[in-house]
């Protein structure tokens, strides 16, 4: 009979195993105990640095330092690079888990669902105070960030990010949204949003799948007074414009590097994109494309990284940014992704590396231009905007 199990034995065994799993799961819950040894050695020292260096307003910094897990960062593909993540790991021991987000509303909704499971979230301009008003993020004491001394001074004092209890985001970059076109296929050179609805460009446009932003473009193109609060008539006009736009849009992509690839391969002749697309397309082996700001105006973003309120590894946010937002990484990020960033020291590095012409061409030396744009933000009635978008692109 040796080696045979009765049903009772089986139940005991499975009950024991189940209890073991539950205990293990509970003990690995952040804050409950120390992290596995494979994470702890390097990470714990970094976390303690973070805890001591974190702004005094960070309520859970001490608790988070006791459970040094990886920093969970919800961001766009052009806010990080493998080299930077690797460098941060080597210099601070902080591991970073990147989750890419499609657009602001996507990030906002995800954060609402998971709260402290994320530690750092990227957001655009007026979306940032929206996060704050919803109690999802907490301000930072930007003066306590040593790396912030590398920023253009104006980036440390945006009105819309300044609250009595601190600064809402660590500034990253900015760009107006431009129309990028391949002059070999698009002639005459466009100067208006209306080129996107010209039937001769059927199936030749690629845009990012950002429903609210596309509605904002439609609002600008159709002359809406306040693109964030379009009236029913203005929404209807914007929707009509989208109806004309849809046949021309071959596909809606998730990240802007897909747009670059589509332009580089010749699949797309027209696209909406940040500053810097011509060089990125060329770097990707594509044709010489050009970019314009439509005469009706455009929207633009000033983006930054927000500290999640109650993030499980919040104490690692500052050490991560201190290491990852250094000028060397930022300068390389500019070369990779084109649009201007707020790190002034990185601009100097670019000048030193012989990239002044490129940096100046993409307005890196004119950060004040960022405040001349219609900044991205949430619509007054997001549901109506999403419905209007989906009624066109959803069928």
Partner 1 sequence: MTATAEALPGASAEPVADDRRRLTRLWPFVPAAFVLGALFLVPLGIAFAASFWSTGKGLQLVADWSLKNYVYVLTEGPYLGVFAKTILVAALVTAIGIGAAFPFAYFLVRYVSARWQRIVLLAVIVPFWTSYLVRIYSWQAILGESGILNRVLIALGVITEPLDVFLYNDVGVVIVLFYLYFPFAALTLYTSLERFDFTQLTAAQDLGARPFTALRRILVPQVRPGLVTACIFVFIPILGEYLTPTLVGGTQGILIGYDVVTFYQGGSYPLMAATAFLIAAVVVALLIAFRRYLQIEDLVRGAG
Distance CA 230, CA 237 (A): 10
Structure token digits, residue 100: 């890419």
Quick one: 115 or 246, whose CB is closer to partner 1? 246
Q: How many other CB atoms are there within 10 angstroms of residue 83's CB atom?
A: 13
- The nearest distance, CB 238 to partner 1, in angstroms, is 15
Quick one: 102 or 335, whose CB is closer to partner 1? 102
Handedness of CA 280, 286, 290, 292 (dihedral sign): negative
- The nearest distance, CB 186 to partner 1, in angstroms, is 17
Stretch that binds partner 1, among 40-48, 120-128, 217-225, 386-394 (CB under 8 A): 386-394
Residues 365-384, interacting with partner 1 (CB under 8 A):
380-383
Residues 221-260, interacting with partner 1 (CB under 8 A):
246, 249-252
Stretch that binds partner 1, among 97-105, 161-169, 293-301, 304-312 (CB under 8 A): 97-105
Phi, psi of 208 (to 5 degrees): -75, 145
Terminal-residue alpha carbon distance, the chain? 66
Of the candidates 106, 141, 198, 283, which one interacts with partner 1 according to CB under 8 A?
A: 106
Residue with tokens 């702890």: 40
**Alpha helix stretches (DSSP H) within the chain:** 7-27, 40-53, 61-65, 82-92, 104-114, 127-133, 211-221, 232-245, 256-265, 277-283, 317-324, 327-337, 344-352, 356-361, 382-393
Q: Which residues pair with 72 in a beta bridge?
A: 97
Q: Does the footprint of partner 1 cover residue 98 (CB under 8 A)?
A: no
Structure token digits, residue 74: 């919800």
Q: Does the footprint of partner 1 cover residue 112 (CB under 8 A)?
A: yes
- The nearest distance, CB 134 to partner 1, in angstroms, is 7
Of the candidates 23, 32, 134, 184, which one interacts with partner 1 according to CB under 8 A?
A: 134
Q: Does the footprint of partner 1 cover residue 394 (CB under 8 A)?
A: yes
Name, in order, each residue with C-beta under 8 angstroms of 225's C-beta and a sequence gap of 6 or more.
234
Residues 202-221, interacting with partner 1 (CB under 8 A):
203, 209, 211-212
Please give the residue ranges that form the binding site for partner 1 (CB under 8 A): 7, 11, 14, 18, 102-103, 105-106, 108-109, 112, 134, 203, 209, 211-212, 246, 249-252, 265-267, 380-383, 385-387, 389-395
């Amino acid at each position: 009979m040796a080696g045979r199990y009765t049903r009772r034995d089986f139940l005991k065994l499975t009950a024991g195993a189940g209890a073991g799993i539950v205990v293990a799961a509970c003990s690995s819950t952040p804050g409950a105990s120390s992290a596995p040894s494979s994470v702890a050695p390097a990470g714990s020292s970094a976390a303690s640095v973070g805890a001591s260096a974190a702004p005094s307003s960070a309520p859970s910094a001490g608790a988070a330092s006791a459970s040094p897990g990886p920093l969970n960062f919800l961001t766009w593909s052009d806010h990080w690079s493998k080299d930077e993540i690797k460098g941060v790991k080597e210099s601070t021991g902080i591991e970073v888990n990147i989750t890419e987000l499609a657009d602001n509303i996507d990030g906002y909704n995800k954060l609402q669902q998971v709260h402290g499971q994320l530690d750092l979230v990227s957001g655009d301009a007026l979306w940032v105070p929206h996060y704050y008003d919803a109690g999802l993020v907490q301000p930072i004491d930007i003066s306590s960030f040593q790396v912030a001394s590398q920023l253009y001074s104006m980036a440390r004092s945006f009105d819309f990010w300044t609250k009595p209890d601190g600064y809402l985001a660590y500034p990253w970059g900015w760009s107006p949204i431009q129309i990028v076109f391949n002059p070999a296929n698009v002639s005459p050179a466009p100067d208006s949003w209306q080129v996107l609805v010209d039937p001769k460009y059927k199936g030749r446009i690629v845009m990012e799948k950002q429903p609210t932003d596309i509605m904002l473009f439609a609002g600008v193109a159709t002359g809406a007074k306040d693109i964030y609060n379009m009236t029913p008539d203005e929404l209807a006009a914007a929707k009509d414009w989208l109806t004309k736009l849809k046949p021309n849009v071959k596909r809606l992509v998730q990240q802007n590097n897909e747009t670059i690839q589509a332009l580089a391969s010749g699949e797309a002749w027209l696209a909406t994109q940040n500053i810097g697309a011509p060089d990125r397309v060329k770097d990707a082996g594509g044709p010489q494309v050009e970019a314009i700001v439509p005469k009706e105006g455009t929207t633009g973003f000033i983006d930054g990284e927000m500290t999640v309120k109650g993030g499980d590894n919040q104490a690692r946010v500052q050490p991560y940014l201190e290491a990852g937002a250094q000028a060397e990484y930022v300068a390389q990020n500019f070369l990779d992704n084109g649009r201007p960033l707020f790190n002034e020291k990185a601009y100097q590095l670019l000048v030193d590396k012989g990239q002044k012409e490129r940096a100046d061409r993409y307005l890196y030396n004119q950060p004040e231009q960022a405040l001349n744009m219609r900044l991205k933000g949430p619509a007054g009635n997001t549901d109506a905007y999403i419905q209007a978008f989906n009624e066109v692109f959803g069928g």
